[in-house]
Amino acid sequence: MVKLNRIYTRTGDDGTTGLAAGPRRPKFDLRVAAYGTVDETNACIGIARLHATAEDAAVDHMLARISNDLFDLGADLSTPETGKPLGYEPLRIVQAQVDRLESEIDQLNADLAPLRSFVLPGGTPAATHLHLARTVSRRAERLMAELAEAPGEVVSKAALKYINRLSDFLFVASRFLNAKARGDVLWVPGQNR
């Protein structure tokens, strides 16, 4: 159980932060940047949810679950696998979370018209914020992929799959919300030449 009595501890005043298992890393460390960007994705989702209407309840429910999953992903990333016993079972992203995202993508995408152009960020406020969340999640994915390739660092395959599916979900969810309103905003190549 998480217990936060004090918000400021002064332990980060030297430019380091503690990982879940205790070791300190520079605040610019790639692992810290990865889970920080996952947190940023979650904040963008929170803004999108703020703009969800009553008609968007099904998507909002999915986003609420994803928001919780993103804390799981942050916990996973902040507890690196070192091969040393921790004294507890660390929280990890599991395949079932990836499978649920895939199922929800399929559900939302089932009745959408096929795309014949790229989609520009826009449409409803909620959909527009989901596009922002999508781009931030792609940045988190790039950081996680880079971290997974770094010597001595481990990122689970399930965590990498989850962040990849998340950006797909956010794209399809934005299209779903726009389809119920005014439709996608489509790219028109060379329109302003």
Look up the CATH number of the domain holding residue 45: 1.20.1200.10
pLDDT in tens, 95-136: 999 999 999 999 999 999 998 889 999 999 999 999 999 999
Confidence tier at 19 by pLDDT (50, 70, 90)? low
Higher per-residue confidence, 182 vs 66: 66
Which of 4-8, 54-58, 126-130, 159-163 is predicted with the least confidence, judged by mean pLDDT?
Answer: 4-8
Q: Which of 14-18, 36-40, 52-56, 148-152 has the least mean pLDDT?
A: 14-18
pLDDT of 1 > 60? The answer is: no
Domain assignment of residue 31, yes or no: yes
Structural domain range at position 125: 26-81+89-185
Name the pLDDT band for 181 (thresholds 50, 70, 90).
Answer: confident
Check pLDDT > 90 for residue 177. yes
**Which residues, other chains included, contact 56 with Cβ-Cβ below 8 Å and sequence gap of 6+?**
126, 177, 180
Q: Pairing state of beta strands 16-18 and 24-26?
A: antiparallel
Q: Is residue 21 assigned to a domain?
A: no
Q: Is residue 139 part of a domain?
A: yes
Q: How far apart are CA 157 and CA 127, in angstroms?
A: 29
